[in-house]
Structure 1
Amino acid sequence: MQTTEILSQLVAMSRELAEPANDYVILAEGNTSARIDDNSFWVKASGAGMRGIGPEGFVQVSFQQV
């Protein structure tokens, strides 16, 4: 699966989790993430609301040690 497809699915899942009718999260807050490959993953940026989040609300993080 390509990185952009993973990110698109993560955005859709985050919005679904934040939908008030589903009653999964409080105030559409929380964190979501998805592994891209063996080296990195997408994670929701702090302060970004889940309900209206877009691709720009996620950052790519490397597993590599600093």
Structure 2
Amino acid sequence: MAPALKPPPAPPLNIDRIKALHDDIEAYIDARVADEAKRTPGVPAVRIKHDLMVRAGGCQCRAFFQNSEKAS
């Protein structure tokens, strides 16, 4: 029987790139919330963001993908 192959080592994480992506996603979500708040006067932006995040299971990345797919 042939020996099991080892998977290649994972590349090191680029923390600066991850932080930049997180910041970009957060800015995108905040912009979407601001746009929605303009269309729904009287609904606090914090409520809109909360609803958006709940629909995404609390994950900013998932919220980004769900909303960016709707926009395209």
State the TM-score, normalizing by the size of structure 2.
0.35
Q: Which has the higher contact order (CA 8 A, sep 6+)?
A: 1
* Greater strand proportion: 1
* Greater helix proportion: 2
Flag the structure with larger Rg. 2
State the TM-score, normalizing by the size of structure 1.
0.38
